[in-house]
Amino acid sequence: MKNKSSRNGLPKNVGPLRDTGLSLAGVRPFLINLRAMDFLATSEGQLFVGVAVALIAIGAAYFLLSPKKPKVCLDPEKFKEFKLVKKTQISHNVAKFKFALPTPTSVLGLPIGQHISCRGRDSQGEEVIKPYTPTTLDSDVGYFELVIKMYPQGRMSHHFREMREGDYLSVKGPKGRFKYQPGQKRAFGMLAGGSGITPMFQVARAILENPNDHTKVHLIYANVTYEDILLKDEIDSLAKNYPGRFYVYYVLNQPLEVWNGGVGFVSKEMIQAHCPAPSSDIQILRCGPPPMNKAMAGHLEALGYSAEMQFQF
């Protein structure tokens, strides 16, 4: 027996499509999913899935394994506390101080050739602030070091002399006008006296340890006695490890009986013999006691080094 039809052409016992709970909006995604499943069953689909999984894995590995930018510890506006973890006495009035940073991967964040301000107390208990240059670089992660010459009447010298392992030092920075980019000069001449070696050593290390920097460094380092020479082992190591790029000439006012370095004060003749000649692509750096800095400025001017060819720390 035939079913009677309604006006829309459907059997009377079959309602409109919308009455079944189905709609075109529901059918289309279903059909698309079926097509997607059919595609994934093909070799091309399996290849697509493999490539997608590989890309996701590579992205995750890059995110997890790529080196994170080290945490910088210095703040130019406020003092921060750093713990003294090792104090090494080098001579009767010189010591090396090693300070821990917050984490083993932290860096101090000190640009090459700049310094920090250290705060302490003098023998009268009054606050004193003095600049110092670490001998370490940001490649030395997790700590920084200061090599300090402690003078009998030095106010900050008293603070360092009294410091014990476990004590904290207040530090702020960076400070300084010196800016360096690898290769900005063909060569540097360095005129250092006493503790003025610390910024020179830092700059020399940064230049020489960079395999992409071919700048040459010529150091004249003056002291009163042989025992006064700071960082001598480290300086001699630079000369040994970087022949043809690093040169050092020691000058002593009171030399040993057997001595093959300079004697007396740094002279114009010494500068001529051991520093690069005046040129627009060289620079002479100076750091020492005020009388030495003044004398070196006079020597350099007489030798034809312009103001642009000189920098005083």
Question: Which residues line the annotated binding site for FAD?
Answer: 131-132, 147, 149, 156-157, 198
Q: For residues 140 and 206, give the distance between their C-alpha atoms in angstroms, rounded to a whole number.
A: 11
- Asked whether the bond before 290 is cis by omega within 30 degrees of 0, the reply is no
Q: For residues 76 and 54, give the distance between their C-alpha atoms in angstroms, rounded to a whole number.
A: 45
The answer to whether 133 is a known catalytic residue is yes
Of the candidates 73, 118, 275, 287, the residue annotated as catalytic is 287
Which residues are 217's β-sheet partners? Answer: 188, 246
Q: For residues 23 and 17, give the distance between their C-alpha atoms in angstroms, rounded to a whole number.
A: 7
The answer to whether 247 is a known catalytic residue is no
Residue 238 three-state SS = helix
Of the candidates 132, 221, 247, 305, the residue annotated as catalytic is 132
DSSP single-letter state for residue 86: E
Of the candidates 73, 133, 135, 221, the residue annotated as catalytic is 133
Which pair of structure tokens corresponds to residue 61? 């590995």
Residue 171 three-state SS = strand
With b for 16 or more beta-carbon neighbours within 10 A and e for fewer, the 44-72 pattern comes to eeeeeeeeeeeeeeeeeeeeeeeeeebee
DSSP single-letter state for residue 119: E
Q: For residues 155 and 212, give the distance between their C-alpha atoms in angstroms, rounded to a whole number.
A: 42
The answer to whether 132 is a known catalytic residue is yes
Provide the annotated binding site.
131-132, 147, 149, 156-157, 198
The answer to whether 287 is a known catalytic residue is yes
DSSP single-letter state for residue 165: T
CA angle 100, 103, 104 (to 5 degrees): 80
Q: For residues 262 and 255, give the distance between their C-alpha atoms in angstroms, rounded to a whole number.
A: 8
Q: For residues 310 and 279, give the distance between their C-alpha atoms in angstroms, rounded to a whole number.
A: 11
Question: The tokens 């590995």 sit on which residue?
Answer: 61
Catalytic residues: 115, 132-133, 287
